[in-house]
Copies of this chain bind each other. A is one copy, B any other.
């Protein structure tokens, strides 16, 4: 950590700051005194230091980090990729995880039918919303507990592990019991109460990136879960908010190589929510694989025009099947695997 001292600071105040920092933090401090300003280098473990607690001193101009503020999520301290195992499947290993299913669970018939279809095409996980975060209080909020029950039935019938979003901390026990991967939605990425609860369990957590969150903040939210003891975190990029309104959000595929460099955690891509346009799913899903993604989460609905939410971004099972065939070829170029029934 580098502390830049204001040019006008007096030497006695600088000395007193140095003494104070050495007392407060387990760091060694080295000073460069130049014609225009003095710079302090804080050497040692600085991940627990809050820069603003230093920046608020009168004589400090700015503080800049040299090392990242996250530790458990940091590849420097954990060079190998984290591979998360769920019911015999892996996320983060050679196989590319394909999580598919409808935006919302609507009925037993619907979820089982889609689950069978996507499994047939080679999906390795089933997604489906039971609790739905909606901008309007008047919009369909999901089947809630009943939705979880239907997902469990679909899991039993197909053997596909299920992925679904948690919204309320008080439902966590039920989620631990019923769900295979617990999803945290973009709007809850900094719901720190929820993150702390998820740190206390050992179920895998799929953590979506917030609409206006930097990659560093996203990794800090993963750190919240990991600091609590749950290191099974899967990151999911789903588009960030920008000035462009042609797509619902702007899918940031550069987040894949960035996360791979900074962290050992797996990273997957959600092209359906990012763009909100079903015809963009194919090119961007293929692009995600080429950019190194560990998996994809894709909306599939057997009747997108009658879906209770997010219809325009869903693929039909037939289009999903064709996409799987194409993605399989891209996976091969990357030296990775997607297993479809078509061979």
Contacts and interface: CB of A to CB of B under 8 A. Distances in A.
Interface string A307-318: 111111010000
| Copies per assembly | 4
Nearest to A140: B50
Interface stretch (A94-102, A119-127, A155-163, A166-174): A166-174
Interface in A161-211: 167-170, 187-188, 190-193, 196, 210-211
Interface string A120-162: 0000000000000111111110000000000000000000000
A286 B279 contact: no
Nearest to A258: B246
A206 to B, nearest CB: 18
Contacts of A50: 136, 138-140, 309
A261 interface: yes
A329 to B, nearest CB: 5
A300 interface: no
Nearest to A288: B287
Contact of A32 (B32, B241, B305): B32
A225 to B, nearest CB: 9
Contacts of A227: 137-138
A270 B192 CA distance: 22
Contact of A253 (B215, B287, B330): B287
Interface stretch (A61-69, A83-91, A108-116): A61-69
A217 B250 contact: no
Interface in A267-315: 274-275, 279-280, 283-284, 286-292, 304-312, 314
Interface in A231-263: 240-247, 250-254, 256-258, 261
Contacts of A30: 32-34
A170 B167 contact: no
Contacts of A11: none
B280 A287 contact: no
A34 B70 CA distance: 20
B36 A28 contact: no
A17 to B, nearest CB: 10
A199 B313 CA distance: 32
B304 A56 contact: yes
Given A32-B39, A224-B137, A243-B243, A4 B66 contact: yes
B250 A242 contact: yes
A338 interface: no
Contacts of A283: 253, 256-257, 290-292
A291 B39 CA distance: 33
A248 to B, nearest CB: 10
Contacts of A196: 137
A254 B247 contact: yes
B280 A257 contact: yes
A8 to B, nearest CB: 11
Contacts of A210: 212
Contacts of A314: 56
A54 to B, nearest CB: 9
A37 interface: yes
In the complex, the 9 A-B pairs of residues with the closest C-beta atoms, listed nearest first: A56-B311, A212-B212, A34-B43, A286-B290, A287-B287, A287-B291, A187-B190, A32-B41, A290-B290
